[in-house]
């Protein structure tokens, strides 16, 4: 029997459906039993034909009953007493949250966030509204986009990269991705590593290494010095299929690969049939001299894969990057990813294209560089009275610097003492594949997320924390 | 000698830098030659100290010269005559554009776009502006987001999925991705396929098959009938590690997996230590009965991986989807992807969370269902006079139907004839792994991108095109 509660928020058809289902699952209604006809039911219950039909269609759709000609709805065979009543079990071992420091963090000297004031909020809003209208009018708002990224963006990006980074390519060679890691994920599928290895600078970017490892690519390392990757140590055999490098701003040492080494690296790649993955992550952010042309710009053998991102120049929350593929890999990409959709929201692509097209992107970069230069200079000035005890290294680009202590001291000790004073600073350990090679007395400090006026107080806290070594 | 052109747009420091570089690369300045001192140069040229310093720093940064104590700047060894003058070569074989049809397409009956009017533009704009302010105030606009997706979105999404799809999980189990294909890409790395295969419904979603193939996963197939995947044909051995299935709306046949088969599939998965990948791509879009609870909702053995997307319910241009991982796979995900960043823009996550939280998402879904129901009914009505010759199949969900002709006729012939009348219709061939099993006389027609009022004209054109078989 079905009881309807007309005061309930649950719609009438749903009450009928649920009670019928329970009858079947509990075995009170058995296989081949015939349901009361919909006409009879609506009279018994005093509900509309539509209400009964909706309940019955749902039961049919889910396979509890089937319609048999001249008989009506007949119960199908379903497993007994299987109604799912479990409450959510706490099977998940507690996922540990970030170990909350017991100290209040006043300043976080991270390299992976920026103060919100640096984001071009007004322009982003303006172009979002504008582009939504354009896309709507062109009936593109609700379509899949070009899987390599919209031509409108690729055209504008290319003319920007030509001008600022000397990049030489066609817009057909550009593929938009949702960031560096997806670019690398794709490359792992395009470059046939098989038993071959990838060569990484040591130290290098740990989040890039993670992608290669996740994709089962074997990593070998090559050391760097003040001129970047030491090309004389490139292996003479051809067990390497690709080199991942940050030539314009070695991460994290800050070295710039010299022009001589650039040519040698390109020659080596040609000779050993290897690709060069050039990660140009923050090279627009160079505030003293103009940006150094990309390695890609002097590659006439099509060995360089150029990777860029908007994470540093706009915001890491945008999730957009790009790769420029040499022709051989482009053909492989078009084949391998033929049925893949783009991974980048259409509207964001349009907004960034508009930013570049209007020149606002370049103006924004200049504003960023100005802000970062001021911050770096303030740190340098505030630390000038202890410069014999601690050396600040930066090549005048990006948004971080390294601090090296003259005395022997462990990173962990420095980090803990700084935390006690409310400042979070970072280890350099994670950038080293060979942990033993990591200098114990060098720290990694970012200034993306600290306002200029806070720097004196921040440095005062650090000096207090580290007075033993200063 | 350096010649400065003060009328040029090129800044003075750049003119100095460029001419010095040319001197070096052309060999006129040789290794170990010493550059004229900056003080001398600024006097000769009558420029500021800053101008000369900028030019010289750039030459140092790029490795053309190095600073030697008490000597000044000395030219380093660089390869001769390597200056890169290539114009962009047309090495790229012309990438063929979509073969442009010589006919004007008036109506495109695609399943992968929607009319722009269906997108909740006003709400999207409103919440974009609102959320940008919130994120900016919380200093989150320029940070990396939670790699699984923001908790604010996961909380709201979960309470929506509980209500509409019966999904049972914790918000910790949800991982936001940039769409179905990335979800599958990730799963290929989480499920240890090794020599094992994945089982797919035949016919099934070709773009899912493409991801498995790209990841080197071997595919076996299982047939479907009017009750969905035929569970009696599930293999009895355990060479299968996962089944990819669309139980609530079999793609493309439209069948719903019956409740009996659902339990059998779950039991089989438990027995053969296999996962079930439930792709619930458009099950909110069910316009007659209420959506059928997800397979995940009756899984008490944690075998089901639930996949969803906003491509159908909001827009494919949003690029956002999600997966709900059973606990065992979640732990594996946290380990494997520990250093991966989220792939979904932060702002979009907030906007969708707001849409759900305010109830506007559900209202939007109802509006969509209403629009789609009207469109399907209009097609049905317009084709009712030829229903003996051509059968329309739909299970009242999603935004497409199948058309099956009574007479023998080839799909290509039907497609070409429709094109001549300005209507693009689609083959079903790509959904079949076993091409020979694909019925030649069945077409795939989407109604996402056609306005209600255009349907009569569209059907009139189709009738004209296909008069031979109607």
Residues B392-439: tens digit of each pLDDT: 999 888 899 999 999 999 999 999 999 999 999 999 999 999 898 999
Please tell me the distance from the alpha carbon of residue A177 to that of residue A148, in angstroms, as a whole number: 8
Token pair 């997966």 in the structure block, residue: B323
Question: SS3 of B217, please?
Answer: coil
Three-class SS of residue A182?
helix
Within A4-96, residue ranges assigned H as helices are: 12-26, 38-45, 49-61
Closest residue by Cα to residue A343 from B323, B60, B176, B417: B176
What is residue A38's predicted lDDT score, i.e. its pLDDT?
84
For residue A288, which residues of chain B lie inside 8 Å, CB to CB? Answer: 54, 57
Q: What is the pLDDT of residue B44?
A: 79
Domain B1-97 has CATH 3.30.360.10: no
Q: Are residues B182 and A343, on separate chains, in Cβ contact within 8 Å?
A: yes
Q: Answer yes or no: are the C-beta atoms of B419 and B404 closer than 8 Å.
A: no
Tell me the HSE value of A198 on the side-chain side, using a 13 A CA sphere: 26
Q: Do B144 and A316 touch (CB under 8 A)?
A: yes
Distance separating alpha carbons of residues B244 and B222, to the nearest angstrom = 10
Question: What's the whole-number mean pLDDT along residues B292-310?
Answer: 95
Closest CA to B117 of B339, B387, B367: B367
pLDDT at B92 over 70: no
Q: Taking residues B176-204, what's their average pLDDT?
A: 96
Give φ, ψ of B458 to 5 degrees.
Answer: -60, -45
Say if strands B240-245 and B275-279 run parallel, antiparallel, or are unpaired: parallel
Q: How confident is the model at residue B90 (pLDDT cuts 50, 70, 90)?
A: very low
- Average predicted confidence (pLDDT) for chain B: 90
Phi, psi for residue A58 in degrees, rounded to 5: -65, -40
| pLDDT for the residue numbered B416 | 96
DSSP 8-state symbol, B256: -
Strands B197-202 and B218-225: parallel
> Which neighbouring-strand residues pair with A113?
B143
User: Residue B169's CB: how many other CB atoms inside 10 A?
Assistant: 22
> Which pLDDT does position A100 carry in this prediction?
55
Closest in A63, A115, A345 to B317, CB measured:
A345
Closest CA to B250 of B361, B429, B424, B394: B394
Of the listed ranges A452-466, B129-143, B348-362, the least confidently predicted one is B129-143
pLDDT of residue B99: 52
Q: In this predicted structure, what is the pLDDT of residue A102?
A: 66
- Domain A107-114+363-465's class? alpha beta
- Give the tens place of pLDDT for each residue, B7-39: 777 888 888 888 888 888 877 788 888 888 888
- Nearest in space to B282 (alpha carbons), one of B305, B256, B318, B308: B308
CB contact under 8 A, A256 and B185: no
Identify the segments of chain A with pLDDT beneath 70.
1, 79-102
Classified as helix, coil or strand, B190 is helix
What pLDDT does A88 receive?
A: 42
pLDDT above 70 covers what percent of chain B?
95
Predicted confidence band at B278 (pLDDT cuts at 50, 70, 90)?
A: very high
What integer pLDDT is reported at residue B290 of this predicted model? Answer: 75
pLDDT value, residue B102:
66
Q: A298 CB near a chain B CB, below 8 Å?
A: yes
Distance of alpha carbon A243 from alpha carbon A274, whole angstroms: 7
Question: Which helix H or strand E contains B225, and what residues bound it?
Answer: strand B218-225
* Residue B129 pLDDT class (50, 70, 90 cuts): very high
> Is the distance from CB of B319 to CB of A182 less than 8 angstroms?
no
> Could you say which residues from 119 to 178 on chain A have a Cβ atom under 8 Å away from some Cβ of chain B?
119, 121, 124-125, 128-129, 132, 135-137, 139-145, 168-170, 172-173, 178
| Residue B68: φ, ψ to 5° | -115, 130
Confidence at B291, pLDDT banded by 50, 70, 90:
confident
Find chain A residues with C-beta within 8 A of B32's C-beta: none
ipTM rounded to 2 decimals:
0.84
Sheet holding B426-427, edge to edge: B390-393, B400-405, B442-446, B426-427
Length of chain B: 470
Residue range A120-358, CATH number: 3.40.640.10
Q: CA–CA separation, A43 vs A66, rounded Å?
A: 22
Instruction: Show residues of chain B in contact with A214, CB under 8 Å.
Output: 189, 336-337, 340
Beta bridge partners of A34: A74
| Widest Cα–Cα separation across chain B | 98
Distance of CA A184 to the CA centre of its chain: 11
* Closest CB to A258 among B76, B129, B346: B76
Q: Residue with structure tokens 């604010």?
A: B152
Packing angle of the helix pair B180-190, B327-336 (nearest 10 deg): 90
**In chain A, domain spans:** 1-97, 107-114+363-465, 120-358
Quote the pTM value: 0.85
Q: Is the pLDDT of residue B292 over 60?
A: yes
Indicate if the pLDDT at residue B216 is higher than 90: yes
**Is residue B208's pLDDT more than 90?**
yes
Element (H, E) at B19: helix B12-25
Provide the pLDDT for residue B24. 84
């Amino acid at each position: 029997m079905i009881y309807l509660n007309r005061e309930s928020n649950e719609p009438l058809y749903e009450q009928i459906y649920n009670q019928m289902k329970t009858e079947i699952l509990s075995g009170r209604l058995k296989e081949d039993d015939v349901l009361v006809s919909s006409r009879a039911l609506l009279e018994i219950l005093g509900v509309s034909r539509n209400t009964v039909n909706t309940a019955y269609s749902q039961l049919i759709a889910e396979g509890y009953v089937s319609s048999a000609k001249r008989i009506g709805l007949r119960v199908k065979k379903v497993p007994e007493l299987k109604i799912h009543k479990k409450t959510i079990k706490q099977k998940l071992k507690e996922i540990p949250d970030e170990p909350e420091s017991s100290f209040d963090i006043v300043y976080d000297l991270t390299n992976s966030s920026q103060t919100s004031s640096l984001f071009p909020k007004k322009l982003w809003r303006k172009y979002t509204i504008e582009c939504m209208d354009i896309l709507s009018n062109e009936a593109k708002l609700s379509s899949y986009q070009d899987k390599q990224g919209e031509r409108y963006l690729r055209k504008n990006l290319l003319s920007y990269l030509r001008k600022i980074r000397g990049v030489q390519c066609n817009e057909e060679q550009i593929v938009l991705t949702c960031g560096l890691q997806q670019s690398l994920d794709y490359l792992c599928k395009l470059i046939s590593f098989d038993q071959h290895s990838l060569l990484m600078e040591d130290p290098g970017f740990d989040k890039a290494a993670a992608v290669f490892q996740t994709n089962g690519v074997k990593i070998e390392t090559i050391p760097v010095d003040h001129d970047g990757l030491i090309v004389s140590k490139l292996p003479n055999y051809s067990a390497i299929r690709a080199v991942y490098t940050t030539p314009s701003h070695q991460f994290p040492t800050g070295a710039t690969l010299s022009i001589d080494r650039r040519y040698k690296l390109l020659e080596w790649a040609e000779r050993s049939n290897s690709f060069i993955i050039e990660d140009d992550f923050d090279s627009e952010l160079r505030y003293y001299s103009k940006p150094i042309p990309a390695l890609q710009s002097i590659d006439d053998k099509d060995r360089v894969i150029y990777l860029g991102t908007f994470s540093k120049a706009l915001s890491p929350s945008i999730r957009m990057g790009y790769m420029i593929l040499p022709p051989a890999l482009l053909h492989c990409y078009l084949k391998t990813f033929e049925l893949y959709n783009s991974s980048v929201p259409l509207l964001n692509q349009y907004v960034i294209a508009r930013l570049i097209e209007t020149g606002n992107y370049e103006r924004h970069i200049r504003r960023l560089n100005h802000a970062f230069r001021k911050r770096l200079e303030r740190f340098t000035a505030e630390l000038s009275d202890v410069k014999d005890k601690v050396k600040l290294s930066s090549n005048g680009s990006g948004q971080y610097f390294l601090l090296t202590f003259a005395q022997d001291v462990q990173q962990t000790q420095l980090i803990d003492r700084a935390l006690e004073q409310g400042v979070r600073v970072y280890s350099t350990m994670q950038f080293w594949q060979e942990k033993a090679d990591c200098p114990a007395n060098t720290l990694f400090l970012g200034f993306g997320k600290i306002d200029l006026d806070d720097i004196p107080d921040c440095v005062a806290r650090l000096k207090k924390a580290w007075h033993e070594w200063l």
